[in-house]
Structure 1
Amino acid sequence: MKANKLKDIEDLEARKPEESKKLKLDSGIGKAAKGVLAGEFLSERGFSYFPFLLFLAFIASIYIANNYLAENKIRKSNNLRDDLRELRYEYITGKSELMEASKQSKISQRLKAIGIKENTEPVKSIRIKKTK
């Protein structure tokens, strides 16, 4: 009789997920995760990784400090930009007030209040002939 090929195929398909799980656990990441969860990481070779862990902690603290300083500079930059905008508005307002106050009509009104009259006669020019 012929062997049952259908059962063999089903057995192979049933074995594949189990084998793939074993392969995943036997990989480097799986072993490391298993070692950390089981506590073998600290008991066996934990102290050999200590300088590397300190280095990672140092890099993480530098990253956090850099992020903090960058955000602080951005905040200061935004505040300075707002202050500059406010000063620009004050400058424009002051300039327009000065232009308004220095008009001839405004000056004449202020001088009338003091008692000084505006000159209505044209200016007379004096010409002198040069002699040789």
Structure 2
Amino acid sequence: MEENIKTSGKAPGRKADWRRFLNHQWVVENIPFFLFLAVLAVLYIYNGHYEDKITRKIGATEKHIKELEYEYKTIKSEVIFRSKASELAKAVEPLGLRELTTAPVLLDSIAAAKR
């Protein structure tokens, strides 16, 4: 018998070691662990999908912010252009308003002159 052990190079009973892990009783005892591993796998997959969704939302938000920034700059330059004195005079001319050509009269000086 010792000769068989030496010639095979394996300890007796070594061949059947893996079979003890695959019996019905071992599987039933480890069901909670398998369920735990399954929950971890589901959470891992969910986390990946959630990250993809958040990345897409961030990209869309960044694009929207850039569009709003361009719109802001365009409107700001328009307002600055229209608030120039020459452009303002052109805009109110149809209303009958025009720019003063004489210096304004100070009411305090008129009141002081009447005293």
Q: TM-score, normalised by structure 1?
A: 0.60
Which deviates the most, 81-90 or 108-117?
108-117
Q: Structure 1 residues 46, 119: CA separation in 2 closer, same or farther (over 3 Å shift)?
A: same
Q: 1:99 aligns with which of 41, 58, 80?
A: 80
Structure 1: any 5+ residue segments left out of the alignment?
1-17
Partners of 2:53 and 2:60 lie apart in 1 by 11
Residue 102 (structure 2) pairs with residue 118 (structure 1) = no
- 1:45 aligns to what SS in structure 2? helix
Please give the per-residue CA displacement for 1:78-117, whole angstroms capped at 9, x wherever unaligned: 2112111111111111111111111111121223344433
Give the RMSD, CA atoms, in angstroms. 2.9
Q: Which amino acid aligns with 1:47?
A: V
- The list of structure 1 runs, each at least 4 consecutive aligned residues, that deviate by more than 6 angstroms after superposition, is none
Q: Secondary structure of the residue that 1:119 maps to in structure 2?
A: coil
Residue 44 of structure 1 deviates from its aligned partner by 5.5
User: Identity of counterpart residues, as a percentage?
Assistant: 28
Deviations 1:42-90 (A, max 9, x none): 5462222222111100011111112221221222122112111111111
**Which AA in structure 2 matches 1:48?**
E
Which one scores higher on RCO, CA 8 angstroms, separation ≥ 6?
2
Match of 1:70, SS state, is: helix
Paired with 2:23 and 2:71, the residues of 1 have a C-alpha distance of: 66
Q: Distance in 2 between matches of 1:123 and 1:114?
A: 21
Structure 2 unaligned regions, length at least 5: 1-7
The total of aligned residue pairs comes to 100
Q: Normalising by the residue count of structure 2, what TM-score does the alignment of the two structures yield?
A: 0.68
